[in-house]
Chains A and B, each alone.
Chain A
Amino acid sequence: MCRYSDFDEKFVRERAAQFRAQVARRFNGSLSEDELRPLRLMNGLYLQLHAYMLRVAIAYGMLSAAQMRQLAMIAERWDKGYGHFTTRQNIQFNWPKLGDVPEILDALADVQMHAIQTSGNTVRNVTADHFAGAAADEIEDPRPYGELLRQWSTDHPEFQFLPRKFKIAVTGSPKDRAVTAAGWAARRWWAAAFAAFCPRRICCPISRPWSTPTICSGGATTGTRPVSRSPCTRPGWPASVN
């Protein structure tokens, strides 16, 4: 289960407060729609055909009972009494009002949830096998990897404005219930991008990966985890993923 550190808590609260101020500025005319749009999209808020839509991240598909109850409360209080779970293990509220969204973000923060990076050309919420931890055929629990990726990718300044969205799914089982194979085309693009722009390995502290970025040509230094492009040797996977 994803648990916020003090840093996470502070960060999410600050983002909710920032969004509250941004919406207020849109209402008083000091922000135009063109200026607000990228800001609301960074907080998971779309304007769709019929209404606004808020997509809430569920980190690697794990929900506690308290979080589920809070989602139900949000649906009852600020939506039409329901939400839609997505194929990528998020939940969408399809009828929120713009002025209510800051309240919703605060309510999400109360149960360590948010809507950050559920939209836009960035690294999206990490998904995992929905049977993680309970699957009989599981070789390894994918959730710790999901948590590492969550910490690494959240608000990572290098990946906030990618050419297109980038989605990660993790599975620890030979049976691909997390649908990691759907990302092969994107993985090829990603590998090519790294080869072109990141010829050296990037080392990142695990807990706060982007705060003190370092680039190293050798192995990881103490307290860092290398994000290397080791060739994938998994049976049945195409060489193109490398």
Chain B
Amino acid sequence: MAHAFTPKVVTANALLDGDVVYLTPDDRWTRQFHKAELIDDEAHAQIRLLDAEMRHAEVVGPYLADASATGAGPHPVQLRETFRAFGPSNYPHGKQVATR
């Protein structure tokens, strides 16, 4: 029996500043998780990951991260991805400052 596929987003770190970025449906890199392309097909996820890996002049270490669909766009599932998406948890000095 085929296993259920958890939706994914393609994420990486920007080469220039190391910031966490996500691949959008129109092939740009965004710093906001909810603007990422939510991929619900495993084969398409692999293709998008290959696309991202070709862009090594822009990003470092792309990979697929689990995500869930919400009314406001994709949302991270794992705690690690929540930290990456919203910034460090000790006090606001990451992305959460920029989005205030």
Interface residues, chain A, CB within 8 Å of chain B?
26-27, 29, 32-33, 47-52, 80, 97-99
Interface of B is mostly: loop
Question: Which one, B16, B20, B61, contacts A50 given CB within 8 A?
Answer: B20
User: What's the minimum C-beta distance from B77 to chain A, rounded to whole angstroms?
Assistant: 16
Complex CA–CA separation, A98 to B57 (angstroms): 13
Question: Which one, B13, B19, B61, B93, contacts A80 given CB within 8 A?
Answer: B93
**Residue pair B87, A33 in contact (C-beta under 8 Å):** no
List 11 A-B pairs, Cβ < 8 Å: A27-B57, A29-B56, A29-B57, A32-B56, A33-B60, A47-B18, A47-B61, A49-B80, A51-B94, A52-B17, A98-B16
**Residue pair A51, B56 in contact (C-beta under 8 Å):** no
Complex CA–CA separation, A230 to B88 (angstroms): 47
User: What's the minimum C-beta distance from A5 to chain B, rounded to whole angstroms?
Assistant: 34
**Residue pair A49, B15 in contact (C-beta under 8 Å):** no
**Residue pair B17, A50 in contact (C-beta under 8 Å):** no
* Beta-carbon nearest neighbor of A46 in chain B: B18
**Residue pair A50, B57 in contact (C-beta under 8 Å):** no
**Residue pair A50, B15 in contact (C-beta under 8 Å):** no
- For residue B84, CB closer than 8 A to chain A, the reply is yes
Residues of B within 8 A of A33 (CB): 15, 56, 60-61
Complex CA–CA separation, A26 to B94 (angstroms): 26
* Beta-carbon nearest neighbor of B59 in chain A: A33
CB within 8 Å for A99 and B19 given contacts A32-B56, A33-B56, A47-B60 = no
* Beta-carbon nearest neighbor of A48 in chain B: B18
User: What's the minimum C-beta distance from A94 to chain B, rounded to whole angstroms?
Assistant: 8
Residues of B within 8 A of A99 (CB): 16
**Residue pair A52, B18 in contact (C-beta under 8 Å):** yes
User: What's the minimum C-beta distance from A188 to chain B, rounded to whole angstroms?
Assistant: 34
Further 20 A-B residue pairs, CB within 8 A, beyond A50-B95, A51-B94, A98-B16:
A27-B15, A27-B57, A29-B56, A29-B57, A32-B56, A47-B60, A49-B83, A49-B84, A50-B19, A50-B20, A50-B83, A50-B94, A51-B17, A51-B19, A52-B17, A52-B18, A80-B93, A97-B17, A98-B17, A98-B18
